[in-house]
Amino acid sequence: MSDHDLVVRGGTIVTASDTMRADIGVRGGRIVAIAESLPASGRSIEAEGLLVMPGGVDTHCHIEQLEANGTVHEDSFATASASAFAGGTTSAICFASQFKGHPIGPTLDEYRRRARSAMLDYSFHQIVTDPTDAVLKELPGIVASGIRSFKIFMTYDPLHVDDREVLRVLAAAKRLGAFVTVHCENYAAIGFMTEALIAAGHTAPKYHAWSRPAVVEREATYRAIALAELIDTPIQVFHVSSAEVAEEIARAKARGLKVWGETCPQYLALTDGHMDWPGFEGAKFMCSPAPREAAEHERMWGMIRRGVLDVISSDHCGFSYEGSKGKGQNGRDVPFRDIPNGIPGLAARLPIVFSEGVSKGRITPNEFVALTATNPANLFGLSGKGRIAIGADADLVVWDPKKQVTLTNALMQHAIDYTPYEGIEVTGWPVATIRRGEVVMQGGTVQAEPGSGRFLARGPYPLTAPRGVVANGFDPAG
């Protein structure tokens, strides 16, 4: 009888803390041996001259998300899984969104049903848009089912919560031991700017960025941090676009608050200039917060190196350029306000971060692993994910650090008809992806059974516990 189902042989293992030349033995979907040389048994993957890293963990993906206007994001759990594997990612946290005025339960059931076709391992962030008393009563059951994080939006019409509602969600999360992620942009300011721009005839996609400059994000980030401090609830600020926003997180961390910061490849590789492409093309790059000026990229890498931003997710979003569900769903002559926000990036995330980060000497390979796998797994309580250690899930990516690739939409293997990263040259590319010991991508060919992805139920974990510090010793969360 062979000892291992799979041996990854001869590679350079890179974890968040160590680099070593060793073989990895896998049995029953887990890592059971890490040794200088393992005997031949089961299937082998030859990794001589290649890096072997934890499979990517993408804790911010909009997959098959249901919109209030009745549309559904175009990437299904099956197609998004294929895209994830193509890019070296093996697990993701996506979103189950509440519709305002409705209970969470039935909609969450619908997400659970849709996710049954997943091939990657997944969990959900529960988006809370309407924290009424009745909805707050649903939250304990949701957390007990393993959904241990919420997302709140400080802007967007069908999703936005006001400050009092932010506090209600933060307090509920504290009571339940759940972690809160926040989309920080000032709703009223964006509304005001949008009206002013449109009144002045500024309707093209590029004015999306003008309607929400960094100050709008910085103000909301400051406010979210202050509200989280009031309740003593740890938060992660999602998709930080610029250093002046990250500076608010740095100040919070320096004061000992439990505040973490996420950024995304679009804030390291795209600019506001992309939204000025001719005609409707700029819509391909419209996301919120908006990509900033090119000079911001280097400042953001500085924030990453300082540890202010400790997770890089994709914020993958499924709107094609063409078609009735895509960027032009409301027509192509509409003002920027009526173009859906969000860009796809699940498959491009690791290649862009590796190329811009490691290949260009801005971060080490170990920092790359920390940012794209280990930190997100730890922060969201995905035990067994994001590391290479005995007993961990055998989620691995075998990586060619020298391979040069020009990104094309075909390489993304998603259901979206474009990639905003088309034509970008990267150095570093995944040659095989292994999910729980199964080779699910090799040489660009994805092979996995729809439904083989597992729901990752997340139990309590200490990292995101409150600090136990409240003003005047009075705990407003009860």
| Contact positions vs ligand DUC (CB under 6 A) | 62, 183, 287-288, 315, 317, 341-342
Residue type, 424: I
Given a contact cutoff of 8 angstroms between Cβ atoms, the answer to whether 30 and 6 are in contact is no
Mask 134-173, x = binds Zn ion (CB under 5 A)?
A: ----------------------------------------
Q: Long-range contacts for 130-134 (Cβ within 8 Å, ≥24 apart)?
A: 130/98, 130/99, 130/100, 130/101, 130/102, 130/161, 130/165, 131/161, 131/165, 131/168, 131/169, 131/172, 134/103
The gap between the terminal CA atoms of the chain, to the nearest Å, is 57
Phi, psi torsion values for 370, nearest 5 degrees: -60, -45
Given a contact cutoff of 8 angstroms between Cβ atoms, the answer to whether 392 and 31 are in contact is yes
The distance of closest approach from Cβ of residue 336 to ligand DUC in the complex, given in angstroms and rounded to an integer, is 13
Q: Indicate the residue whose CB is closest to ligand DUC.
A: 342
Where would I find the beta strands (DSSP E) of 132-258?
149-153, 179-183, 235-237
Name the residue nearer to Zn ion (CB basis): 69 or 472: 69
Residue 230: count of CB within 10 angstroms of its CB: 16
Q: Which of 183, 208, 218, 316 binds Zn ion (CB under 5 A)?
A: 183
The pair of structure tokens assigned to 213 is 């400059």
Residue 18: count of CB within 10 angstroms of its CB: 11
Per CB under 5 A, does 58 bind Zn ion? no
Name the residue nearer to Zn ion (CB basis): 318 or 365: 318
Parallel, antiparallel or unpaired: strands 23-27 and 6-9: antiparallel
Peptide bond into 289 cis (omega under 30): yes
The distance of closest approach from Cβ of residue 413 to ligand DUC in the complex, given in angstroms and rounded to an integer, is 20
Residue 14 CA to residue 88 CA, distance in Å, equals: 14
Where helices occur in 204-294 by DSSP H, the ranges are: 207-210, 214-231, 243-254, 266-269
Task: Name the one range near Zn ion by CB under 5 A: 38-46, 177-185, 203-211, 348-356.
Answer: 177-185
Name the residue nearer to ligand DUC (CB basis): 30 or 183: 183
Q: Taking CA 454 as the corner, what is the angle to CA 450 and CA 456, rounded to the nearest 5 degrees?
A: 150
The distance of closest approach from Cβ of residue 452 to Zn ion in the complex, given in angstroms and rounded to an integer, is 26
Half-sphere exposure at residue 476, Cβ-oriented, CA atoms within 13 angstroms? 16
The distance of closest approach from Cβ of residue 151 to Zn ion in the complex, given in angstroms and rounded to an integer, is 7
Name the residue nearer to Zn ion (CB basis): 5 or 185: 185
Name the residue nearer to ligand DUC (CB basis): 68 or 446: 68
Name the residue nearer to ligand DUC (CB basis): 62 or 114: 62
Residue type, 322: E
Task: Name the one range near Zn ion by CB under 5 A: 131-139, 309-317, 380-388, 423-431.
Answer: 309-317
Given a contact cutoff of 8 angstroms between Cβ atoms, the answer to whether 4 and 41 are in contact is yes
Phi, psi torsion values for 439, nearest 5 degrees: -80, 105
122: β partners: 92, 455
DSSP label of 280:
T
Partner whose binding site includes residue 341, from ligand DUC, Zn ion, none (CB under 5 to 8 Å by kind):
ligand DUC
Name the residue nearer to ligand DUC (CB basis): 54 or 265: 265
Name the residue nearer to ligand DUC (CB basis): 262 or 310: 262
The distance of closest approach from Cβ of residue 315 to ligand DUC in the complex, given in angstroms and rounded to an integer, is 6
The distance of closest approach from Cβ of residue 219 to Zn ion in the complex, given in angstroms and rounded to an integer, is 16
The distance of closest approach from Cβ of residue 80 to Zn ion in the complex, given in angstroms and rounded to an integer, is 14
Going by C-alpha positions, the residue among 46, 62, 66, 89 that lies closest to residue 342 is 62
Name the residue nearer to Zn ion (CB basis): 213 or 428: 213
Name the residue nearer to ligand DUC (CB basis): 314 or 464: 314
Residue 186 CA to residue 161 CA, distance in Å, equals: 11
Going 115 to 120 to 123 to 128, the CA torsion angle's sign is negative
Given a contact cutoff of 8 angstroms between Cβ atoms, the answer to whether 266 and 291 are in contact is yes
Partner whose binding site includes residue 287, from Zn ion, ligand DUC, none (CB under 5 to 8 Å by kind):
ligand DUC
The distance of closest approach from Cβ of residue 70 to Zn ion in the complex, given in angstroms and rounded to an integer, is 20
Mask 389-428, x = binds Zn ion (CB under 5 A)?
A: ----------------------------------------
Task: Name the one range near Zn ion by CB under 5 A: 232-240, 258-266, 289-297, 389-397.
Answer: 232-240
Name the residue nearer to ligand DUC (CB basis): 81 or 97: 97
Mask 312-351, x = binds Zn ion (CB under 5 A)?
A: ---x------------------------------------
Phi, psi torsion values for 189, nearest 5 degrees: -65, -40
The distance of closest approach from Cβ of residue 421 to Zn ion in the complex, given in angstroms and rounded to an integer, is 17
Task: Name the one range near Zn ion by CB under 5 A: 41-49, 116-124, 237-245, 454-462.
Answer: 237-245
In Å, how far are 214, 258, 311 from 255, measured between CA atoms? Answer: 23, 9, 20
Name the residue nearer to Zn ion (CB basis): 150 or 399: 150
Residue 266 CA to residue 379 CA, distance in Å, equals: 22
The distance of closest approach from Cβ of residue 320 to Zn ion in the complex, given in angstroms and rounded to an integer, is 17
Binding site for Zn ion (CB under 5 A): 183, 238, 315
